[in-house]
Structure 1
Amino acid sequence: MPPTALQHADATAGVGVLKARLTGLSQEEFARDVWARTALLTRRASDFSDLFSAEAVDELTSRRGLRTPFLRVAKDGVTIPDASFTSSAGVGATIGDQLDDTALWCMFADGATLVLQALQRTWGPVADFSARLSTELGHPVQANAYVTPPQNRGFDDHYDVHDVFVLQIAGAKRWLVREPVHPDPLRDQPWTDRRSAVAEAAKGQAHIDTVLEPGDVLYLPRGWLHAAQAQGEVSIHLTLGIHTWTRYALAEQLAQSALALLRDDPQMRGTLPLGVDGPGGEIDAVRERLVAAVTKADSAPLFHRTRRAQARPAPLGPLAQLEAVDGLGPHSRVRLRGQLEARLEGPRLVTRVGWFDFPETDVPLVTRMLDGGVRTAGELGVELAERLLRAGVLVPAEQ
C-alpha cells in the first residue's frame, strides 16, 4: 500500500507539503523568491501515486455516480456541452446529469480531455493534501485532474485567475509557459477579456518549454500564459488552484464595512436637493464622510467571515460521531475538527459550522482546545466536550 500524504509529511518531521512534496523550498524561500512572482519548475519533486492514479480516474468516472459540474470535457480548446456525456443512472438513481461512462469513453477515445473538478470534495487523498497545502499557504485550494489522450490537448493558450501547482501523475505532457499579458488578474478579469493579446503573445518565445514527467511539479502565478499537450501516452496531472486573497479583495471588504457605518449616518441617508441634475457640491461632503468611515471601519470580521465561507470543514462521519458522544467519558480522546477556521471573539467561538457562546469560566478551556492537540474530555470538562462533539466542533481522536 502506498504511503499517504500525511505519512509523507511525517517522514520529514515538521516539514510541510510545500517543501517536502512540491518545491524543495522552505515556506520562507518560496515566499521570498517565487510566490506570485515567477514560474518554477521542480523536477522529481515527489512520488504522487498516493494522491491520484489512472485507477482513481476509472473509479470516479464509472462507479461514484458523479454529477456535473464535477466533470467537464474539452477538445481542441472547446468545452463540450454537459448533455453530451450525462444521462440518468437507472432505477433508484434517475437524476439526469450523472456521468455516462460509455459516452465519456467514446469522447476520450476521440481525443477529448476529461477534467475531474473539485477533487478536494470527491477523492480523499487529494482532499487531505489540499487541506494541508491550504493551511500552509493561508489561501483556499481547489484540485482538478486533467486526463488527456496521447498527442492531444484540452485547452488553447490561456491564463488562470488563480495560482496553480501542476503535479504530473502519469504519462508526459509538454508545457509552453509565457509571461503575463495582464499581470495579477482579478477573478473577474478572465483571459477571454484579452483573447487577442493572449493569441499574439502565444506566438512569441516561451519562458518555459518543457515536458513534465511523473513526479515533476510546475508552479504558475495567476496571469502566466500556458498551454499543454500530451505526448506518446495518456497524461494525467493534478492542478492545485490557489485562490489567492488580494489587496483588492481587502479593499472591497473595507469599503463594505465603511458603507455599513454610513447607513447609520442620518445626513448620508438624506435626500439630495430637489431638481438636482448631478452630484454638484454634494460630492465633497460625501467624500469627506466616506474617508472618515474608511478610517474607522474594521473589516477584519468581514474578512474572517468571507474566508470561512470559502471552504468546508474536514469530513465528519455521523456514525463515528454518535459513537463518540454515546461513549464519552473523562478519558475519551478528542480533538478540534480540521479546517474549521475557528476563532475566539471574546466569549464567542466562531467556526465554519456556526458560532457558540460560552461563560467566561469556559473560555480558557476553549482556548486550550484551539491549539489542535489531542485532549481528554476530562481536561476540557465532559459537559463542554459533549456540547462541542454534538456541534461538530470536536471529533474523536484516532487511537
Structure 2
Amino acid sequence: MTPLTTTPRTPAAVARAARLLSRDPDQVRDLPWGTAHAVFDASPELAAVMTREDLDDWLDCSLLHYPVLNAIRGATPVPPQELTRTMTVSGDPRGGYVDGAKVRARLRDGATVVVQNLHEWHRPAREVCRRAAELFEAKAGAVAFWSPPGEAGLRVHRDDGHLFVVQISGTKRWYLYDTPAAPGLWEPGYVEAPDGLAEPATVDLRAGQVLYLPDGIAHHTETLDEESVHVTVAVREPALRDVAELAVRACLARVPAHATAAAADREEAVAAVLDDLAAALGRVDRAALARHVTRRSVQTGGSR
C-alpha cells in the first residue's frame, strides 16, 4: 500500500507566494517543497515581520501576559514566576504580566524567550500570515525566538508543518538531518535516538535570510557569538484525519442519535450501518469537501 502523504505535487502554491517570501522571487520558484531545506533572501515584507526593537517594547511597554511570552532552558520550561509580575489595576492585583527585568535575567542565564501567536496580535505578522494562508490555502501562524549567545537550543526534534524561518538579527546555526519520506514514518517531538540519523547538514542563517524547512525534518540549533532573534512562520496544510472526520460526520448526520444496535440482531445492525456509511462516503462530493477544507483552513486564525 502506498503511504499516505500530505506533500503537494505541484509548485503552484510556492509560485503564488514567491513575492511574499523572497526579495528575488526566482530564488524560490524551484523550492524543494516537502523534500529538502532551502535558503533565500527575505522579501521586505517578510524581513519586517518584527524587529529587535519590538522585543524591548514588548518587555517594557506592553501588557504581554504569560504564556504568550514564555521561556525554555534546555528542554525545561522556565516557571512563570521567574518571568512575570503582578500588576495592580484600580486596586485589583492581577498576576502573570511579563516582567522585563526578570526576562532579561533569564536570557543571561541561557534561556531562550519564546513569543507565541504573533499572528493574533502583532500587525505585521498578522498580515504576513493572512497572505500566506491565502496563497498556500493552509493555516499560517508565527512565533518569535530570542536566544542568548552560545545557546544550544532544543535537542534534536521534528516539527509538523512547513516552516519559514526568518532571521531578524544575529546568526543562528541550524543542524539539519533527514526529511521523512512519509507521515507514517515520524512523529512531531524529540528524536529519541538521534545517533541513528545521518550526519547533519549545517546552515548559518544570517539576518535578512529565510530558511525553508520541510514538514518533519529533524533539526536542532545553536546560537553563535551574539544573540539571535528569528521568527518562524509555520504553514500547516489540512490534516487528512480532519478531512476524513468531516466526511464521516456529514454521513453520520443521517443516523438518528437515538438509534440503537439491539442485542438480538447487533451483528446485523453493525454490518448494516457500516454498509450504509461506506455507501454514503462514496456519494460525498469530493470537490465540495476539498473547497470546504480549503476555506476553513484559510479563514481559521493560527497555524493549528
- TM-score class, shorter: 0.7 to 0.9
Give 5+ residue unaligned stretches, structure 2: 1-14
Contact 2:17 2:136 in 1 (8 A): no
SS at match of 1:292: helix
Amino acid at match of 1:138: E
Contact 2:170 2:226 in 1 (8 A): yes
Structure with the greater relative contact order (CA < 8 A, sep ≥ 6): 1 or 2? 2
SS at match of 1:103: helix
* 239, 256, 265: which one aligns with 1:263: 256
* 188, 196, 212: which one aligns with 2:192: 196
Partner of 1:34: 32
* 70, 73, 79: which one aligns with 1:72: 70
Contact 1:163 1:220 in 2 (8 A): yes
Listed one character per residue, the Cα deviations across residues 155-176 of structure 1 (whole Å, up to 9, x for unaligned) are 1111111211001110001001
Contact 1:167 1:239 in 2 (8 A): yes
Amino acid at match of 1:205: E
Listed one character per residue, the Cα deviations across residues 195-218 of structure 1 (whole Å, up to 9, x for unaligned) are 424x334x5311x31100011111
Task: Spell out the pairing of 1:93-172 with structure 2 (5 A cutoff).
Answer: 94-172=93-171
Higher strand share: 2
Larger Rg computed on CA atoms:
1
Amino acid at match of 1:311: G
Partner of 1:292: 279
Task: Spell out the pairing of 1:5-84 with structure 2 (5 A cutoff).
Answer: 18-19=18-19, 21-22=21-22, 24-25=24-25, 29=29, 34-42=32-40, 44-46=41-43, 50-84=48-82
Listed one character per residue, the Cα deviations across residues 222-275 of structure 1 (whole Å, up to 9, x for unaligned) are 2111111111101011100112213332122111111122338xxx9233224x
State the TM-score, normalizing by the size of structure 1.
Answer: 0.63
C-alpha RMSD over aligned residues: 3.1
Following superposition, the deviation at residue 182 of structure 1 comes to: 7.5
Using the TM superposition, name which of 299-308 and 279-288 deviates more.
299-308
Partner of 1:249: 242
SS at match of 2:95: coil
Q: Taking structure 1 as reference, are residues 185 and 26 closer, same or farther at Cα in structure 2, changes over 3 Å only?
A: farther
Query: Which whole-Å CA distance do the structure 1 matches of 2:171 and 2:116 have between them?
Result: 20
Following superposition, the deviation at residue 53 of structure 1 comes to: 1.6
Give 5+ residue unaligned stretches, structure 1: 1-14, 313-399
Query: Which whole-Å CA distance do the structure 2 matches of 1:121 and 1:94 have between them?
Result: 26
Q: Taking structure 1 as reference, are residues 184 and 59 closer, same or farther at Cα in structure 2, changes over 3 Å only?
A: farther
Contact 1:86 1:97 in 2 (8 A): yes
Query: Which whole-Å CA distance do the structure 1 matches of 2:98 and 2:267 have between them?
Result: 59
Query: Which whole-Å CA distance do the structure 2 matches of 1:246 and 1:28 have between them?
Result: 25
Partner of 2:263: 273
Contact 2:113 2:145 in 1 (8 A): yes
Amino acid at match of 1:122: W
Alignment: residue pair count = 283
Amino acid at match of 1:114: V
Query: Which whole-Å CA distance do the structure 2 matches of 1:18 and 1:50 have between them?
Result: 16
Query: Which whole-Å CA distance do the structure 2 matches of 1:138 and 1:240 have between them?
Result: 14
Listed one character per residue, the Cα deviations across residues 328-387 of structure 1 (whole Å, up to 9, x for unaligned) are xxxxxxxxxxxxxxxxxxxxxxxxxxxxxxxxxxxxxxxxxxxxxxxxxxxxxxxxxxxx
Q: Taking structure 1 as reference, are residues 87 and 238 closer, same or farther at Cα in structure 2, changes over 3 Å only?
A: same
Query: Which whole-Å CA distance do the structure 2 matches of 1:111 and 1:118 have between them?
Result: 23
Query: Which whole-Å CA distance do the structure 1 matches of 2:82 and 2:301 have between them?
Result: 30
Listed one character per residue, the Cα deviations across residues 16-60 of structure 1 (whole Å, up to 9, x for unaligned) are 653353384579945xx5222322222x33455533221111111
Contact 1:261 1:297 in 2 (8 A): no
